[in-house]
Chain A
């Protein structure tokens, strides 16, 4: 959205008078700028550099690229890329955001704020999906994929029909139900005028009763000795395999960062299956590292996990269930791992891993082959 070129006109210096000037500097800084008002530091940004980073989209459509996507395609893309956190119907999994529903709840006790019920501009949804999603694999979707996913989110909010195709052409025609639901900060009128008064110092009220105690709810985390009490919840990664035409760059980059996977001793390892498993593992990478120097993230590092005692990674704070499994000496083998990854919460009640599970047997087989190939 910016077509500015070097201007012969120096940036006039009216701003200091026009705008509020801060009282920042106690001591004046000698101005070593040239007559044009510049230090001459930095270099011109190239158009392709600006294009690479200037991705934001504004409510009036500024910044929106040409493209389109259907609800139908969006449903599949959403299932592959988004559903692990947001649910197949955009209803949200665990603590992850729900994207649909909540219509008419904003004045209720607990408003449900979704794209449909709350978001004032469709541009926000497109921009956010495009720049920041899927979680843990940002900017891996093509523009058309983003149109399709946003179309599906609209559909899941009953805002468009199932044959709808969203494009840059019809983008501004979509009506967002809560578009008029926002007012600009009015505290100056509604609050400050009331509260800028001389406060009471004595006999300010007749009696004081305790009306509520924090101990009743009892939701404060316990402080255990001097240890960090950080109880990380394991994330459900949304890093599904990118759709048909992946924006290859980010994925490749991520791979370059990833330490080389060591071949395991397993004799009959099928390289193709392991390669498939590595792709499936993208779902896990937001929380789990493998390879040389792998560290614990919100999940434990997984080097040599197959054959390892459950709950055995040092410095990782496991759930009580895995602590018990560790004490019992239970071992991760292909069967137990397959069972766990199919339905984590069924396998281990109370596990911190919020991942919903792998649905396809082929994915399970592949990821276990991959994890088996990752040595200590």
Chain B
């Protein structure tokens, strides 16, 4: 029968839509109102020191819109005006300096796309399949184009002569919010690719991402990407602050813990189909897609398995992988309507292959919480629904 959506004149084809400026700064159309950050209330004691998750199951491409990029605060998202913003560089520098926001805009700046992943991403899955959705298992990640100043430029402006031999020096970075989150970064990384950023995806940082200025530490755990960055101190030792000792350290099976586990290893996940993004069209052509990334460099290859890891086929990368940035992969396939145990496996330019959960557990045990980059399995059922499972 003829489709009335075609044969009958529809209201939107007859009358006016909204005029310009109806929404001076646009929001997604109402029909997309399910594409939002979500949190898991039982994870944390309250919302001011908490985390939520990017709806990666509902996005495509690689750039995360700021409005749905996951948030992590330790003392709530503060409102800090550009006029009130100050950045101090002190410690082992020739001249301690203070910059205003305007000052920062006068330094030569660069643009780079990088992923930011919380070290706890997938952390709830250590002991078993727990949360049912890519958003919840893998959504502590976002990927944006940052505009900012190399940290090296600012350190050189203050002068590193006073620091002497730079090999064993550190940079302590600290935020302006009440949590005073601070992390120690080895000088080599600080002088390599760290950015002091003030724009993301072309627009000002959002409040929840550290407006007006945050640190970008490519490939390294999100906690080091200090928001509301207010101070950079050159030191001769790691400060060993709360977030680098009591948190963001990885307990191994024998009770000892790894510290300074900064790099986020290669990882990937199928974002669709997945529990929140079931197959609704029945058998036939199916796009399997997902994201891959590595803190060691560029993604070079992603394999996909439909049978829980017995056999693998190499997926198509939407674009060649870029260093420390999300890579989108596609497997354009035919679905016969049967059960699938979908997995993806990332490889990066260092030859690192994403491990299975069993491989990780063999080395680390079950208590590490952080840095779980295991291969994820979705059980896709004949109905098209999918579930987070673990397989032998």
A contact residues vs B (CB 8 Å cutoff): 1-2, 4-7, 9-13, 15, 18-22, 24-25, 29, 32, 37-39, 41-45, 49-50, 53-60, 62, 85, 94-96, 106-107, 109-111, 113, 115, 118-121, 123-124, 127-128, 131-132, 135-136, 138-139, 181-187, 190-192, 194-197, 199-205, 207-215, 217, 219-221, 223, 225-236, 286-287, 297-298, 354
Closest-CB distance, B205 to chain A (whole angstroms): 20
Q: Is there a chain A Cβ closer than 8 Å to B94's Cβ?
A: yes
Provide 10 A-B residue pairs closer than 8 Å at the C-beta atoms, listed in order of the A residue: A2-B234, A6-B95, A55-B180, A181-B256, A196-B353, A214-B388, A214-B389, A220-B132, A236-B45, A298-B47
Q: Which of B47, B98, B131, B150 contacts A49 (CB 8 A)?
A: B98
- With contact pairs A24-B112, A45-B96, A214-B388 given, residues A124 and B261 touching in the complex (Cβ less than 8 Å): no
Do the beta carbons of B255 and A106 come within 8 Å of each other? yes
Do the beta carbons of B192 and A21 come within 8 Å of each other? yes
A246 to B266, CA, bound (A): 49
Do the beta carbons of B192 and A220 come within 8 Å of each other? no
B contact residues vs A (CB 8 Å cutoff): 30, 33-34, 36-42, 44-49, 52, 74-76, 88-100, 103, 106-108, 110, 112, 128-133, 136, 150, 152, 156-162, 166-167, 172, 174, 178-180, 182, 187-188, 191-193, 230-231, 233-235, 237-242, 245-246, 249, 251, 253-263, 265, 275-276, 303, 307-313, 341, 345, 347, 350-353, 355, 359, 363, 366-367, 379, 387-392
- With contact pairs A185-B262, A230-B38 given, residues A191 and B392 touching in the complex (Cβ less than 8 Å): no
Do the beta carbons of B178 and A24 come within 8 Å of each other? no
Cβ–Cβ < 8 Å partners of A138 in chain B: 75, 178-180
Do the beta carbons of B258 and A121 come within 8 Å of each other? no
Do the beta carbons of B308 and A208 come within 8 Å of each other? yes
A354 to B47, CA, bound (A): 12
Do the beta carbons of A233 and B46 come within 8 Å of each other? yes
Cβ–Cβ < 8 Å partners of B230 in chain A: 53
Cβ–Cβ < 8 Å partners of B178 in chain A: 132, 136, 138-139
- With contact pairs A54-B90, A354-B46 given, residues A42 and B99 touching in the complex (Cβ less than 8 Å): yes
Do the beta carbons of B96 and A131 come within 8 Å of each other? no
Closest-CB distance, A55 to chain B (whole angstroms): 8
Closest-CB distance, B160 to chain A (whole angstroms): 5
Number of A-B contacts (CB under 8 A): 353
Q: Which of A10, A181, A195 contacts B255 (CB 8 A)?
A: A181
Q: Which residue of B lies closest to A234 (CB)?
A: B46
Do the beta carbons of B259 and A184 come within 8 Å of each other? yes
Do the beta carbons of B235 and A214 come within 8 Å of each other? no
Closest-CB distance, B229 to chain A (whole angstroms): 12
Cβ–Cβ < 8 Å partners of B96 in chain A: 2, 4, 44-45, 50
- With contact pairs A181-B257, A183-B259 given, residues A15 and B389 touching in the complex (Cβ less than 8 Å): no
Do the beta carbons of B48 and A235 come within 8 Å of each other? yes
A57 to B182, CA, bound (A): 11
Do the beta carbons of A38 and B157 come within 8 Å of each other? yes
Do the beta carbons of A11 and B159 come within 8 Å of each other? yes
Do the beta carbons of A127 and B46 come within 8 Å of each other? no
Do the beta carbons of A214 and B45 come within 8 Å of each other? no
A217 to B75, CA, bound (A): 30
Do the beta carbons of A11 and B172 come within 8 Å of each other? no
Cβ–Cβ < 8 Å partners of B309 in chain A: 204-205, 208
A44 to B160, CA, bound (A): 15
Cβ–Cβ < 8 Å partners of A226 in chain B: 30, 33-34
Cβ–Cβ < 8 Å partners of A182 in chain B: 245, 249, 256-259
Do the beta carbons of A7 and B162 come within 8 Å of each other? yes
Do the beta carbons of B233 and A56 come within 8 Å of each other? yes
Do the beta carbons of B88 and A135 come within 8 Å of each other? no
Do the beta carbons of A19 and B166 come within 8 Å of each other? yes
- With contact pairs A42-B98, A132-B242 given, residues A62 and B261 touching in the complex (Cβ less than 8 Å): no
Do the beta carbons of B390 and A204 come within 8 Å of each other? no
